[in-house]
Amino acid sequence: MIKVGCCGFPTSMKKYFENFSLVELNSTFYQYPKIRTVEGWREKAPENFEFTVKAHQDISHRVKLRVEDVSLQAFEKMKEICKMLKAEVLLIQTPGSFRPDRLDDAEKFFKAVNCEDLVLAWETRGPLWEKKDVREKLKAILERLNVTHVTDPFKVLPAYTNEVTYFRLHGLGERMYYYQYSDDELRRLRELIKPYEEEGKTVYVLFNNLAMFDDGLRFSEYLSKGVFPKLTGATGLDSVKIVVGRTRYPASKSMLLKRLGWRLVEIEEGKQVPLRILLNKLPSKTFENAEEVVESLKSLKFNA
């Protein structure tokens, strides 16, 4: 089974609940919500809606998985939140500064906590975790503790997964999160996660990029129907016009590149490119509106 959702609510809860049946609750990383607030989230959500929970930074960033009162108490608070939300998965994401030489601390922490029925998922960050000897040691520890390894599948596959496989997609651009996945990339994503589904695992796919709402919907539709919905409902300059209309004007070329360059446009049926490829052809000036941007591209004999 494949479950698709977003890391946090990129739109109103009402709209989100109408389109997805899964969300990774991120606000719990920054603060401990009041009990009534958590109860309200559960009450607002449809009965079959699923929450996963991101653990508070006290655990991962403040004490960095050391067995201390702070981390143990924080873990118990997270467990209580999970119970109220009927969440089955608790995500712990350590920072890039948490290196493999601290793996022993992680092992001691995961041994010390009482998970009960909760599935623990741990996202490691940084290239050091991708080294072969580190992955082998990580796999052995996670397998003993039954903790699933969380990765971005486009960058590295998990060292170990239990009955749950949990992926977080952060984008493939130069700036983290500033990304929109093409149809071809989402097809590849399907192939990357397919082996885990075939093993009978529950596969969580959580988008964590700026286009997460749209990308999540497109991927869900592809899984269910085998085809992708149109990015903008248009092609060529009409597609460009829709995308460049999503910002404030006046706007300089550099501002347009920063705000919108990472978004995709459909220049022709089935062919998508990042908007920056087209914007780079524009003269260095300030544009008063979207129509002026489109006219400028048209005068340059629009061609990707």
Shared-domain flag, residues 115 and 203: yes
Per-residue pLDDT at 60 = 97
Per-residue pLDDT at 303 = 60
Shared-domain flag, residues 208 and 270: no
Tell me, what CATH number does 44's domain have? 3.20.20.410
Q: Which helix (H) or strand (E) holds 139?
A: helix 132-145
Shared-domain flag, residues 210 and 280: no
Shared-domain flag, residues 252 and 210: no
Shared-domain flag, residues 250 and 201: no
Shared-domain flag, residues 19 and 45: yes
Which residue, 163, 192, 225, sits at the end of a domain? 225
Q: Mind listing the pLDDT tens digit for each residue in 4-40?
A: 999 999 999 999 999 999 999 999 999 999 999 999 9
Q: Mind listing the pLDDT tens digit for each residue in 117-131?
A: 999 999 999 999 999
Which residue, 225, 244, 275, sits at the end of a domain? 225
Q: How confident is the model at residue 301 (pLDDT cuts 50, 70, 90)?
A: low
| pLDDT of 135 strictly over 90 | yes
Q: Mind listing the pLDDT tens digit for each residue in 159-207?
A: 999 999 999 999 998 888 999 999 999 999 999 999 999 999 999 999 9
Q: Is residue 96 part of a domain?
A: yes
Residue 119 bridge partners (DSSP): 89
Shared-domain flag, residues 117 and 174: yes
> Total domain count for the chain?
2
Domain holding 125, by residue range, is 2-225
Average pLDDT value over all residues in the chain: 95
One-letter amino acid for residue 191 of the chain: E
Shared-domain flag, residues 240 and 221: no
Q: How far is residue 88's CA from residue 251's CA, in Å, rounded to a whole number?
A: 46
Helix, strand or coil, per DSSP, at residue 91: strand
The DSSP secondary-structure symbol of 151 reads B
Mean pLDDT of 230-257: 93
Q: Which helix (H) or strand (E) holds 260?
A: helix 253-260
Helix, strand or coil, per DSSP, at residue 116: coil
Q: Is residue 161 part of a domain?
A: yes
Residue 149 bridge partners (DSSP): 122
Q: Mind listing the pLDDT tens digit for each residue in 92-116?
A: 999 999 999 999 999 999 999 999 9
pTM of the complete model:
0.94
Q: Residue 51: phi, psi to the nearest 5? A: -105, 140
Per-residue pLDDT at 174 = 85
